[in-house]
Amino acid sequence: MTTIINNSNLSAEIKHLGAELISLKTNRNREYIWEGNPDFWGKHSPILFPIVGTLKNNSFHHNGMEYHLSRHGFARDMEFELIDRKETSATFSIQSSDQTLKVYPFEFELQIIYTLDGNNLSIEYKVINKGKTEMPFSIGAHPAFALPNQFENYSIAFEKEELLEYYLLEDDLISNKTKKLEVHNKQIPLTYDLFENDALIFKTLQSNSLTILENENPILKVNFENFPSLGIWTKMNAPFLCIEPWFGYSDTNENSGNLLEKEGIQILNSRENFEAKFSIEIYNL
């Protein structure tokens, strides 16, 4: 099942499974979200919750108990309920259940709010701690943007001057090894060689936005103010690029396994809410 929202410039289609954005098109029918061809990667824009990335041994412990969570958590595999819909917005929700409590022992509600406004689609996360104890969690985005032309025709531009250093993954965990990226005029030309070691993972950035350019012309911007971390990823020869604002990231090899001590984790007090929002801005409508 899907829900479509639209305005005079854009239409967005969201799949109820995972509350996943599967289409963002202009009124001229240009598609900006990756089609999800499983030959490369069968997803479009999954929501990462209650962890981002991979846990060491795919497990954590809490209050003397061990729990197992697969990569990126379970939200992307759950059926969301559509709890509010207007022409230009839709709100989806999941709540903790007996099934989620077996792998993540915290009571919560997660709401995802999609809103179209002019040439922008905003995606808001609202995490509600419904339990009596503090709740550790991570949340993040994983939108894949379609790049239909030659990959080398594209580049990415950071909002601010950056001394870019990214962390390398080893067995899906963040290692202590880093690499530096050369940036000229805040831009990096895209090549598949950039991703030979998997995703580029930035624990911190100065920029609050990242723009994709096609032959030097901006086609879309991802605005992620207040998101502390970012991943950028594609697969070899795949015609898409993922720009992933995160609160949290994979475990390091030194991680203790205590979720409350996990690097990058967010802690939400009992009965409190966490809210964050990023947006996709489309150029040349």
Peptide bond before residue 189 is cis, with ω within 30 degrees of 0: no
pLDDT for 97 equals 97
The DSSP-derived string for 229-271 is EEEEE--TT-SEEEEEEEE--PPBTT--SBGGG-TT-EEE-TT
Query: For domain 2-282, which CATH number applies: 2.70.98.10, 1.10.10.10, 3.40.50.970, 3.40.50.2300?
Result: 2.70.98.10
Q: What is the pLDDT of residue 175?
A: 92
CB 148 within 8 A of CB 239: yes
The letter for the amino acid at 263 is E
Please give, one letter per residue, the 3-state secondary structure of 106-150.
CCEEEEEEEEEECCEEEEEEEEEECCCCCEEECEEECCEEECCCC
Tell me how far apart the alpha carbons of residues 73 and 179 are, in angstroms, rounded to a whole number. 27
Note the pLDDT of residue 254: 87
Tell me the average confidence (pLDDT) per consecutive run of 10 residues in the chain, 285 residues long: 97 98 96 96 98 95 94 97 98 98 98 98 98 97 97 96 91 92 92 93 95 97 97 96 97 91 95 98 89
Question: Which of 241, 228, 142 is CA-nearest to residue 191?
Answer: 241
Q: What does the domain layout of the chain look like in residue ranges? A: 2-282
DSSP conformational letter for 174: E
CB distance 142 to 234 below 8 Å? no
Is-contact 39 56, C-beta < 8 A? no
Q: pTM, whole model, 2 decimals?
A: 0.96
